[in-house]
Every structure is written in structure tokens, then in C-alpha cells.
Chains A and B, each alone.
Chain A
Amino acid sequence: MNSLYRVELRRLALSKYSWIAASLCLCAPLLGYSMYQMSSATITTNQYIVNPVLAGSTIGALLWTLLALLETDRVYRAKTDVLMDAVASPVIMALVRIAALVTLAAVVCAICVLVYLPYTIVKMDYLFDFGLYAVTFFTVMLPTWWVSILLSCAFYQITRRIELAGLLYGACAYISVSRFVAGDFFPRWLNPLINTYSDGFSSLYFLRIAFYTRVLWLCLSGGAYALSLMCVYRYQRNLMFSILRGLKKKTLPAVSTALLAAGVLLWSRQPFVDHGPAEWGDRDDELHEKYGYGNSDNDTTASAFTYRLTTKPATGRLHGIAEYTISPSQSGSDSSRKSVGLNWGYTIKRIVCDEKEVNFETTKDVLYDMRWTTFMPPQGEWKTLTIEFEGYPGMLRCFAPYTWGSEVTRDYVCLNNASAMPRLTGITAPQSFTLELVLPGNLVPIANHRFMTDFIENANSTKTWEGAVSGRSLWITAADYMMDTFNAASMDIDFVYSKKYEKVIKEHNILGALADVFNWCTDRLGKLSWAGDRNLLMVQRSEISGGGNAGEGWVEWGEYVFTPFNLNDPLKGASAAEVFVHEMVHQWWGGLGVLCGWSEGPWTDEGLTVYTTYRLMKDKYGEEYAKKYYIDVWQDAVDKQERSFYYRNPEYLDRLPERYRAEMNYGYMETNHYCRMPLMILKAERLVGGEEKMDTILRAIQSEYERDGHFFTLQDFLDYCGLTEEDLILDKNF
């Protein structure tokens, strides 16, 4: 068999078809630079690694399929199959052929790595990482080619018709590239989904998923191929006879079944995306009813809470131990049912009251991003409750098409809510708790939007960070951060970003640009009512963690805002750098300033924030720019929404499957928040007498609003403007 393999490989290497396929495969990544851009080209790593590899993967897979089909059909086309069968078993020949094809594909992939290496090094400059570059080729592109070769050969061996095998392959390929599975990592065998890589942080998150899906599809296609080997025609007899002959040898059915089962198992037990609803939705009532979440009236109060979290970057997993110490006055008095919610990817190892292990039960349902575990504390006196868990933080299905997963890697840790800390019902944790966080030695953590400062170096190149953290939930971001502190509009601002962005930040005088925005907003809207004892924290987060976000005293923004691509083209429209301005403006509308609350309707903090951003951009770039990138965009989105059948007839929405209903509702909500409301405010501006009058009103709102827990409502806004809700109804050409 070895000698047959060598002969077949040599023959294949000398075939003109192989040379054509290999040459085209080498050219395929070129399309990723311009035409076939599956990931945002604003991130340098996407532009020079992800997109070329994805283009090379898909186009190359099609080329390898053509070659595989032609080569498999060759002996039948030349009518030499009888002679070949006399020399070697057709099954052996099929195995030899596939081995030669996958070897050739591996060689072409290696050449591809070398061919594009110099250009990528030059273009990516200091952002280039050879490990990531080579690994992406070999874990994404090469397995995709292999899967394609295996599937096409399997189809041919089953049908023995080249056009039919092509048709079946085409049908499978269509499913993979169709919109129907566009946001799903697992069915996309031909065009792997990598949402994005990161320039300044870790890219392992999506690489892990891509690698997992490739292994999954190698198992499935390998299984299909082994199955097809049983269909290889033997002794010039028909298909059924050949299958029966194939079944006699136990190896092929066993290998086929094992590989197919492994593929199915990998798919069904994948740790990345939950099996919950496709729509975020409001499910608080379910939380209240089933697990008592939010019903704190009869809660036992914990006097102290210590939380130890150990990250395991090699596997992306976490180990956590939460220890609650019950107030002495209440100890032993509460044996009512408790519930603990954790990210659906975690498994509770044990729950201990004092030193007694407690039985617990975990539901299979996923509610938000959590699975809930219920337990009954023992009768009698107990003073401490310990919950130990471990697992891989999985992402929500409704967020899977985007980029908001929690992440534990060597260069970046991002954990939010139930991914970061258990949510316990029945026991009220104290307002502040002790956090012990074990991280890779190069990372600096920010917990609940404050830097942790104290740490102990461990022997295994990790650090244990320890400190008091305020709040009953936990957000952790850790990276190789560096910080610049500057003053703008009488505010001290800590500007935190990845070390890899240092050059870009300095070259483009980002601090000056930030100060300009703060000064403009202070001038137009008034000074922020921030009276805390700490600086405003502005943190850059990985592209993988999504866009921007803002809260009381902090702003976070995705790294794409300050990529060289965006900064070199400031007039590219309201899409990139302006997101950052948007998040800063949130300090006036939201974060530190006026709170409007949240609803699915138009009135939220977003409307006023988008309007203010538009005004700032109008001052900076002129009226024409503001109209083109703001007013026209808003109007177009609102027009489309009002024309939409489901918007006009919402009763039909309930008839749609959950997935489509979620898509529609999310689209309507976005339009309401980011387009309809700003247009309504723009109309209010015109009705009250222009921009200056509106500035006066907004300043008055900022100075008179008292942040005592109540929200600033649409009616409040109308009262300030002296308008009614009917006045703000949008009509054409208002």
C-alpha cells in the first residue's frame, strides 16, 4: 500500500490538473484582500490574515473538489477500471488516492503560508504574529480543503456519476453558504465563520471555535468517506452487492460509525453556543417564579463574601469558589430552598454548608445565559456556604452572530455577569466583597470598572490579584493594559488601552481628540455632575467583546475605533471612530448624567446620545456631512421600518418562528433607538426654534435633573420643549 501511495502521489504531483488546482489555490487568498471579505477589514489582522485565509479556504475547497472528482473519475473515464481492479483492490486504490490528495493539499497549504508571509509581515508591521498567522492557515484552511476532498470523493463513490456527485456537493455547499446558517458556526463546513480577530488582544476565541468546527467536520466527512468506501463497486457488481461485501469487513462500518458518532457528539455537546432562545427577550418573570430571583424580602444576609476565581488560559476554562459567611444573628435559621445561576457552560462541583456537602440539582434549561441549580441547606445551624464550580464560559445563542462572548485566553480575559460570578437567590451578599483572581502574569485586571492593584506572584508565572470589589455582580476585563491620565473639561480621565496600540494612540494624538470631545460636550451640555472621588475610566476592549458600552464613571469601546484603518480615513462616515464619541457622549446621557431608562420603544438614552453625536459631527465636518451620514441614514431606516409589512401588521409577528421574530424585533428596536428617536429630537429642535434653543433646553435638563433613581421620561423632555407627543410624530419631510 505504501508503494501504491508513493506512485499515486507522484502521479498526482505531475498531473497538469493538480498544477492548475494548486496554482489557483495559491491565488485564492488574494480575493480575501478585496472581494471576499468575511470579517471586518477595519481590524488589521482580519484584513491580512482572516480574510485571505477564509477566501483561500472556500475557493480552494471548491478547486480541490473539482480535482478530486476528476481524479476519482479518471479510471472510469478512461475505461481502465477493469485493469486497475486487476492490479489493486478498488478500496485500497480509493484510500491511496485520498491519502495522496490530502498530502498534496497539505503541501499546497504550506506553500501558501510561505508565499503570503513576506507581504503579511510588511503590511501588519508590529501587529504581526507568526504563530497566529501559521495556525490560522493550518487549522482553518487546510481542514476545510480536506473536508471538501473527503465529501466530494464520498459522493462520487456512492453515486459513481461525476455530475451527480457534483450536484450533491453543490447542494451541501449551498446550505453552508446560505443566509439560513449565516450566523451559525457549526453548519458552515465550506466557509468557516470567524467573526473577527483582535489586533491588540487575543484572537484565540474564534480560532478555538473554528478549530473545533473543523475537527467536527473532519469527523463527519471522514465518516461519510468511510461509509462510501463500502459503496466502491467490487467485482463489477452493483451497488447493493458492494455494500454487502463492505459490511462483511467490520473495519469500515466500525470506523464510519465511530467517526460519524464523534461528529454528531461534537456538534451536540459543543461548549460554545447555548441552546436557549434566539431572542434575548424579557424573562425576568420566569426568573422570579422559578428561582426567586429578585425576591430578596426573606433572604438571609451574608456578612462576608469571598470569591476566588482561577483562570486556565490553556483550555479557556475557569475554576471558581464562592464563600458566603452568614450573619451570626441569622445562622441556622434558614433552610429554605436556594438557587444559584451560573453561565450555562459551568458545572457546579460541590455545594458545602459549613463542612457538610449538600445535594443539588441543575436544570437543563438555559435562562438568559444561565443554568440554575437549586439546593436545600441542611436543617440546623450553619454559618458558611461554599459553592465550587468549573467550566468553559459559553456564549448566548442570540449573541452568537455578533461578538459578545466571555473569554479566557493567555492574553485577554473578559467575563461578565453569570460568566464571572454565581447569581445566588435566597442569600443577600454584602455590597462589597473580596475577590481573589488568578491570572496569567502579563495581564492587568479591571474588576467592576476599577483597577485591581495588589497581587502576589505565583511560581507558575501567574499572579493572584486580591482586593475589595463593590457591587453584587462582577465584570472582569484583563489584558496587557497601559494607562494615560489626562485632564479635559476639569475632569481627570484614565485612558486605558492595549500596549499594542501605543504607537497608534501617540501618532494620532488620540488624547487631544478625546479632550476636544469632552470640551465640546461640556460647552454645549454643561459640566458633568460627576462628584465621585475617582477618575473617569475609559477602557479599550477586545474586538471580540463587541462594540462600545458606558456606565457610571466608565466608558468601554471596541478596538476597531482606533485601528490604523479607521484613523487614516476620518471622513469614512458615521461608523467607526464616531462610535467612540457616541460612548463618551453617553456620560451626559446615561453613564454619569441624565438617565432615560430602557425600553423597546424609541425613548432611551440612545436617542439623545445619537442626536448629540450628530451635532458634534455637524460642527466638526459641516452640514452636508451630518445630513449624509446622520439625517439621511435615520430617515431611510425609519421609512423602511414604516413600509415593513410586519411593522404595519404586528399581529403577524406572533405567527413567525422564533428566529425570524427575534430578528424582526431586534431590527425594529435598533431603528427606534438609533434612528427614530434622534429624528424626533431633530424635529423638536426645529419646533422649538433651532439648535441654540435646543442647546439651552438640553443644558437645562442636565443642570436640573437630579440623579436620585428616577428616569428622565419622554414626557419630561416634551415639557422642557413645550411640545406634545403628537408634535413629534414623524411625517415625510418634516
Chain B
Amino acid sequence: LTRIFKYELKRLLLNRFYIGLLVINGLFAWYILTSDTIAGAAYTAPFSPWSFGSYLASVMPMIILAVLFLLTFFYSKNEKLVKTLISATPVNSVHYSLIRMAVITLGFIFLCALIIGMSVYFYVVFFNFSKFSVFIVPVLVTVLPCFVFFAGAGYCAGRIHLWFLYALIPVSLLINFLHIPGAFDVFGKEYFLNFPLTLPAETNGEPLFVLSALFIFWRVFYFTAGALMFMYGVFRIKT
């Protein structure tokens, strides 16, 4: 299994497309940092958890796009041609699916590390800021539900038909452009931009970083829904 994992890792991540996606995501993240984040979200400091959450929510659609793009590799025509051969091997199909998803997750983690690393560099250079522990909660509530939801949905869609997976790419972008208000927004950008405006300012002029129960509910919902969709995809393989 380790050999398969290494092989899939090499096949999926050590190719020019993934490197291209890394470059595009890096450029996009830097653009967001220097054009939006630098101004601060909802009049808060650019290094407030609100601004950082807004930054993550802004770059997340591009990362999700990369994840969905990587998922299309599993369902391409070439992949279908060798499916019969793979199914003839003694590898458990569920294990094989999990390995592939682990590779996708690793690809996602590298992308996240890149954009978070860039934000760390940005905050240190521009604002001499170093209290990064306040960013843990925004990372958890933004990155995890988004990834699990779209990766699960993508996996499930790809299992049904490749075109559903392709359709999910513009849908994910459309969701971003629709500016869905409130806690329902799967990326959470509107929430990070608007919710702080309803909070009272503390003595330093900044609102406290507190998340509403509704927002947490929807984050848990997206996480669970994504996990269920992924399990459904795996279950279909097994049957």
C-alpha cells in the first residue's frame, strides 16, 4: 500500500499541472493579501482573526478548484482504460480509494501550507506581527469544512459521471461569486466580512473574535455532509 501511495503521490503531485496550480494559487493568494487583506476585513486590523478568516475564505475557492481539478485525474478516459487492470489486482478497492483521497488531501495540505506560509510572510514583513496562535480557529472553521465538503462532493460526483465533477468546478466558483449572505456561505467570506460589524468594539477598537452558533452549525453541517458524500462514493465502489 505504501508503494501505491508513493506512486499515486508521484503521479498526481509531481507533475507540471500540480506545480502550475501551486503557482497560480500562490499568485492569487498574494494578490488577495496585498489588495484585500491589507485593508482589513470589516474595519478590523489586517492581522485580526476576522481579516485572516476572510483571506482564507477568499483563496479557498481557488484551492477547491485545484482539488476538483486533481480529482478529475481519477475519472479521466485513460484512467477508465486501466480500470479493468487495476480491479484485477489484489488491492482492496476501498483501500485504493482511501489512498487516492489521502494523496488529494496531501496535495490540499501543500496548497494550504503555501497560502498560509505566504500570509505569515506578509504579516511579518508588513506588520511585524507574530501572534499567529489566534489564527488557529479561523483555519479550522474555514479550511476543514470547505475541503471535506467539496472533496466529498467531487468524489461522489465523479463516481456518478465525470461531467458532474466538471460541472462542480463552475458551481464552486459560482457559489463564491454569489456572495451568499450570513453563516450559510460555504466559504464563509461574507460571514467574516459582515458579522464583526454587528459586534461591539473593545477598548482597542477591535471586535472580539467570537463565532455564532449558527455559523458553527453550518460548518459542522458542511463537514458532515462532505464526509457522508465521500463515504457514499466509497460504498458504491464496494458494491
Contacts and interface: CB of A to CB of B under 8 A. Distances in A.
A354 B205 CA distance: 67
A660 B205 contact: no
A649 interface: yes
Interface in A628-652: 640, 643-646, 648-649, 652
Contacts of B46: 645
Interface stretch (B31-39, B149-157, B186-194, B227-235): B31-39
Contacts of A640: 43
B45 A657 contact: no
Residue from A179, A649, A652, A664 having most chain B Cβ neighbours under 10 A: A652
Given A643-B43, A645-B40, A645-B46, A655 B35 contact: no
26 contacts: A163-B72, A164-B17, A164-B20, A167-B20, A171-B28, A175-B31, A179-B36, A180-B31, A640-B43, A643-B43, A643-B201, A644-B40, A645-B40, A645-B43, A645-B45, A645-B46, A646-B40, A649-B45, A652-B45, A655-B127, A656-B38, A656-B126, A657-B34, A657-B38, A660-B38, A660-B39
A174 interface: yes
A649 to B, nearest CB: 7
Interface residues of B, number: 24
A163 B69 contact: yes
Given A174-B28, A643-B205, A648-B205, 15 more contacts: A164-B20, A167-B20, A167-B69, A171-B27, A180-B31, A180-B35, A640-B43, A645-B40, A645-B44, A645-B205, A649-B45, A652-B45, A655-B126, A660-B38, A660-B39
Contacts of A649: 45
Contacts of B17: 164
Interface string B1-29: 00000000000000001001000100110
Nearest to A178: B31
Contacts of A163: 69, 72
Nearest to A179: B35
Given A645-B43, A656-B38, A167 B24 contact: yes
Contacts of A646: 40
Contacts of A180: 31, 34-35
A182 to B, nearest CB: 10
Interface of B: 17, 20, 24, 27-28, 31, 34-36, 38-40, 43-46, 48, 69, 72, 126-127, 201, 205-206
A648 B46 CA distance: 13
A655 B38 CA distance: 10
* Listed residue (A163, A167, A657, A664) with the most chain B CB atoms within 10 angstroms of its CB: A167
B60 to A, nearest CB: 15
B59 to A, nearest CB: 12
Contacts of A174: 28
Interface string A99-115: 00000000000000000
A564 to B, nearest CB: 33
Nearest to A655: B126
Nearest to B173: A170
* Residue among A163, A174, A645 having the largest count of chain B Cβ atoms under 10 Å: A645
Contacts of B31: 175, 178, 180
A167 B45 CA distance: 33
Contacts of B206: 645
Contacts of A171: 24, 27-28
